[in-house]
Amino acid sequence: MNIFKKESLLPFNETQFGLHLQIIQKEHPLDDKFMLPIGQILLHLSHLLHFSSFTRSGDIPLSFTHVNSISIFIAFLGQARTHERHSIDNEFVLKYLNISVRCSVKMPNLRTDVVVIGAGPAGSTTARVIAEHGFDVVLVEKDRYPGETNVCAGAMPRAIFKDMRLPSDIIEKEILIEKHYFPWGIKVFKPDHVSVYRDVFDRNMANKAVESGAKLLTDTLIEDVHVKRERIKVISKGRKVIESQIVVFADGPNTLAYRKFGIGFAPKATDVFLSVTVEVKWENNPIDFFGVYYNYDISPWGYGWICPRKDTINAGVLCLYNKLRSNPINSLNYFISKHPLKDLRAREIVWLRSALIPVAPARKIYGKRMLVVGDAAGMVDPVSGEGIIHAITGGKLAGEVCVKALEEENFSSFFLSKYQTLWHKATFTYLYSKYPYLYSKYLLSNIFLYLYRLDRNAYPMLAALTRAGTREIFNTLKFIIIDRLK
């Protein structure tokens, strides 16, 4: 705290003297709005005192980083007899600065019970559960706000809104019809789904965590994690350190958990869908169904889709990475050019994005003082690529296991392994509700991958069987076999 020290003493020059003041303060509560006027005041003060000011960032003697640290550089260069104030550049200062003083105000590292990396649905749910139980949790997001760069069609069961107590005014459209266009016929399902914009949805999810007491740090990219005997050290770009008892990786398919510790989802060409998607402007569009299109030329192992919102339509194509036959943008163009909705082609594209979807469950989702959740743990439907509901289910379990570990002060790998057991049980219960067991879907998709060598419609067959569910198996087989032979 408050260390004043001489940083360097350059040869003294009679007519000039200077002061280089650097203030580093971590975990500051100030934001840009507050700091900029301070910079302006310092600038005017330096002019009043006939000092020239120099800064690395320009003419305001101030530069600072975001969220929980500021770094202020001020250099005054005065000349006793002359009053030239504005013609001083970096080199001049570095060469002639006579006295350099560094003032460093260092706050201790931020300490908390749990750090959750990634404020997607998985991370926000985990943080919320932990905060609701009265423990300290810091939710860290690399983007300026949760969901800013998320790539998603944004369709999900309406039940999520009730379960998570989210405001219904963020729902873009109700999706009560899903039309699946198989190569041999159309099948209509009646889900109770809704569509959202992911940036809006993710912000609301994160807000719920914050309302429950979680601290949200945005604009903070986590670059490294160290496991110490007594704690975890989570290190962000800019070397900010957060110390905690447990870290939860909810950072999506390219998770640091796998890169650093070998747990969580392992990205392989056989285990990821590559997706390309566009948001097309179409104000007050009449589309009220989610369309899924299976066609070898659109995607040999995957599908094309359209998902409506009030004033836009999301359209995209996904394909298992190692089954790609062409550039996915060409597949998307092909899909849109062949789409029966001719209106889709002529309209303005708001954005075009690409992302990976993990479609294989991770083998291990826990370690000493750490858990992995959501896409980072491969908690995605391996056939359809849907993952929001699984991320939320996994997030709840991860949060509950963190709470138990904190209550019992047991952060061993053995204790945390119960999280994986609970996750397996949770996915098993899907078998008895609407959704088939995720792991059997994974197994089934591997069997159909063999079948693909003989029949290029293996993926649509797999999709038809798994979408309809186990109760509809005979009707689906009839649909596939009879209608294909027609």
Ligand X SMILES: Cc1cc2nc3c(=O)[nH]c(=O)nc-3n(C[C@H](O)[C@H](O)[C@H](O)COP(=O)(O)OP(=O)(O)OC[C@H]3O[C@@H](n4cnc5c(N)ncnc54)[C@H](O)[C@@H]3O)c2cc1C
Chain residues binding ligand X by CB under 6 A are: 117-123, 140-143, 146, 150-156, 221-222, 250-252, 256, 275, 277, 316, 355, 357, 374-376, 380, 385-389, 391
DSSP string covering 414-478, please? Answer: HHHTHHHHHHHHHHHHGGGSSSPPHHHHHHHHHHHHHHTTT-TTHHHHHHHHHHH-GGGHHHHHH
SS3 assignment, position 12: coil
Based on CB atoms, which residue is closest to ligand X, 61 or 436? Answer: 436
- Bridge partners (DSSP) listed for residue 233: 226, 243
| Torsion sign (Cα): 255, 256, 257, 262 | positive
Min dist CB 260 to ligand X, Å, is 11
Min dist CB 53 to ligand X, Å, is 35
Q: Which token pair is 222? A: 């986590």
CA distance linking residue 139 with residue 242, whole number of Å: 11
Based on CB atoms, which residue is closest to ligand X, 398 or 480? Answer: 398
Q: Centre a 10 Å sphere on the Cβ of residue 82 and count the other Cβ atoms it contains.
A: 10
Min dist CB 258 to ligand X, Å, is 12
Based on CB atoms, which residue is closest to ligand X, 39 or 118? Answer: 118
Which parts of 142-192 are beta strand (E)? 155-157, 173-175, 177-182, 185-189
- CB neighbour class for 306 (10 Å; exposed up to 12, middle 13-18, buried from 19): buried
Based on CB atoms, which residue is closest to ligand X, 62 or 375? Answer: 375
Name the one residue in this structure whose structure tokens are 């996750």. Answer: 423
Based on CB atoms, which residue is closest to ligand X, 314 or 476? Answer: 314
Min dist CB 266 to ligand X, Å, is 15
Min dist CB 130 to ligand X, Å, is 15
Min dist CB 307 to ligand X, Å, is 6
Provide, for the chain, the percentages of residues in helix, strand and coil under a 3-state DSSP scheme, each rounded to the nearest 5.
35, 30, 35
> Taking a C-beta distance cutoff of 8 angstroms, is the pair 36, 139 a contact?
no
Min dist CB 359 to ligand X, Å, is 10
Based on CB atoms, which residue is closest to ligand X, 22 or 212? Answer: 212
Q: Which token pair is 436? A: 């088939």
Based on CB atoms, which residue is closest to ligand X, 154 or 399? Answer: 154
